[in-house]
A and B are shown apart, each in its own frame.
Chain A
Amino acid sequence: MKIVKMKRENLSSFLEAISREAELWAPVKKGVDTHAFQVVKDFSEIDLNYTRTILPPRKILVPSRFNMFQATKTEYTPDFSHVSNKIIFGIHPCDISGLLTMDKFYSYAIEDPYYLESRKKAMILGHSCWPDEHCLCKSTNTHIVEEGYDLFFTDLKDFYLVWIGSTQGDDLIRLVPDLFEGEIADQDIQRFMQWREDRDKAYSSEINFVAMADLMELRYNDPVWAKLGEACLACGSCTNVCPTCNCYNVEDRPVLGAEHSNISRCWDACTLENYSGVAGGENFREKRADRLKLWYTHKLQAYISKYGKPACVGCGRCIATCPVDINIKTVSDSLDGANPDAFWNRLSQEVTK
Chain B
Amino acid sequence: MSDNNKLKIGIYELTGCAGDALLILDCEMELLDIFNAVDIQSFLMAKSDNIDGDLDVALVEGSVSTEREIEELKDIRKRSSIVVAFGLCATVGGIQARFSEEEWTQNLKEVYGDTEMTHTKAVHSKPIDAYINVDFYLPGCPVGKDQFLNFFTRVVQGAPPESYPVPVCVTCKYNENDCLLNKGIPCLGPLTADGCGSVCPNHDVPCYGCWGPAEGANLTSEYHLLQEKGFDIEAIKKRMSNYSGSKFQEFFEQFKNKESK
Chain A interface residues toward B at CB < 8 A: 30-34, 36, 53-55, 64, 230-237, 240-241, 251-257, 261, 267, 269, 272-274, 286, 288, 320-321, 323-324, 346, 349, 351-353
**A272 contacts B173, CB within 8 Å?**
no
**Bound CA–CA A131/B41 (angstroms):** 63
**B216 contacts A54, CB within 8 Å?**
no
Name the residue in B159, B176, B177 with the highest tally of chain A Cβ atoms < 10 Å from its Cβ: B176
A252: B residues at CB distance < 8 A: 154, 159
Query: How distant is A3 from chain B, measured CB to nearest CB, in Å?
Result: 33
* B193-223 CB contacts (< 8 Å) to partner A: 204, 215-218, 220-223
Q: Is B48 an interface residue (CB 8 A)?
A: no
Chain B: how many interface residues by the 8 Å CB criterion? 48
Q: Is B37 an interface residue (CB 8 A)?
A: yes
**A234 contacts B178, CB within 8 Å?**
no
**B153 contacts A240, CB within 8 Å?**
no
* B160-188 CB contacts (< 8 Å) to partner A: 162-163, 165-167, 169-170, 173-174, 176-179, 181-182
**A346 contacts B159, CB within 8 Å?**
no
A256 and B178 in contact, given A230-B221, A288-B218, A353-B255 (Cβ under 8 angstroms): no
A272 and B165 in contact, given A234-B217, A236-B170 (Cβ under 8 angstroms): yes
When the two chains form the complex, which single residue of A32, A237, A288, A320 contacts B169, counting CB atoms closer than 8 Å? Answer: A237
A253: B residues at CB distance < 8 A: 150, 153
**B153 contacts A235, CB within 8 Å?**
no
**Bound CA–CA A274/B165 (angstroms):** 6
* B1-51 CB contacts (< 8 Å) to partner A: 30, 33-34, 36-37
**Bound CA–CA A128/B104 (angstroms):** 61
**B173 contacts A55, CB within 8 Å?**
yes
Query: How distant is B212 from chain A, measured CB to nearest CB, in Å?
Result: 16
Query: How distant is A30 from chain B, measured CB to nearest CB, in Å?
Result: 5
**Bound CA–CA A323/B228 (angstroms):** 11
B154: A residues at CB distance < 8 A: 252, 254
